[in-house]
């Protein structure tokens, strides 16, 4: 699925993901980049992006990667997620880059790097300023039989 197809699918099927607000910046053959503009509700005391925000972002990024590379499988579901929180910070946006480690018939394993930085589309890379790695996750999805 292309970025546009994923957007349409999410709007039709996942109202919760629409409310979450992650934007799709790039979709390639084995990689997806999404960007979450940070709102007040995503922060925790100490003015840092909250753990649940980053976990939701990681899970969302790999789901979009599954859609991009496997197709519109609404009932794919997460079986495991492991996340390391590396740095605290309150950036304008968090950019999540997900890539496929394994694309099996039954299990799909993705890796996600989450970077804090400016809130501007990823393809404006040369102007995007400094960024730092906030968290790193691996996420396994179970793919339903066709």
Enumerate residues 21-40 that contact its own copies by CB under 8 A: none
- Report CA-CA distances (Å) from 146 to 16, 75, 132: 25, 11, 40
Name the residue nearer to its own copies (CB basis): 51 or 129.
51
Q: Which stretch binds its own copies (CB under 8 A): 29-37, 64-72, 106-114, 121-129?
A: 106-114
Among positions 71, 90, 106, 129, the unique one binding its own copies when judged by CB under 8 A? 106
Q: Does 138 interact with its own copies (rule: CB under 8 A)?
A: yes
Number of residues that bind its own copies (CB under 8 A): 41
Following DSSP, what letter does each residue of 79-103 receive, concatenated?
A: EEEEEEE------SEEEEEEEEEEE
Those residues with Cβ within 8 angstroms of residue 116's Cβ, 6 or more apart along the chain or in another chain: 49, 87, 89, 90, 91, 93, 94, 95, 131, 132, 134
CB 123 to its own copies: min, Å = 25
Return the closest-CA partner of residue 43 out of 82, 5, 90, 75.
90
Those residues with Cβ within 8 angstroms of residue 12's Cβ, 6 or more apart along the chain or in another chain: none
Q: Does 87 interact with its own copies (rule: CB under 8 A)?
A: yes
CB 124 to its own copies: min, Å = 25
Interface with its own copies (CB under 8 A): 13-14, 16, 19, 41, 43-46, 48, 50-52, 55-56, 59, 74-75, 77-88, 101-102, 106-107, 109, 111, 133, 136, 138, 140, 142
């Amino acid at each position: 699925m292309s970025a546009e197809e994923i957007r349409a699918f999410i709007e039709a099927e996942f109202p919760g993901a629409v409310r979450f607000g992650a934007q799709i910046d790039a979709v390639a053959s084995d990689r997806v980049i999404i960007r979450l503009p940070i709102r007040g509700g995503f922060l925790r005391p100490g003015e840092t992006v909250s753990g649940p925000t980053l976990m939701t972002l990681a899970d969302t990024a790999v789901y979009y990667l599954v859609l991009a590379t496997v197709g519109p499988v609404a009932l794919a579901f997460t079986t495991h997620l492991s996340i390391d929180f590396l740095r605290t910070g309150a950036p304008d946006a968090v950019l999540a880059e997900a890539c496929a480690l394994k694309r099996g018939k039954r299990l799909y394993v993705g890796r996600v790097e989450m970077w804090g930085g400016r809130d501007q589309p990823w393809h404006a890379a040369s102007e995007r300023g400094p960024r730092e790695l906030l968290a790193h996750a691996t996420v396994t999805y179970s793919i339903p039989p066709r």
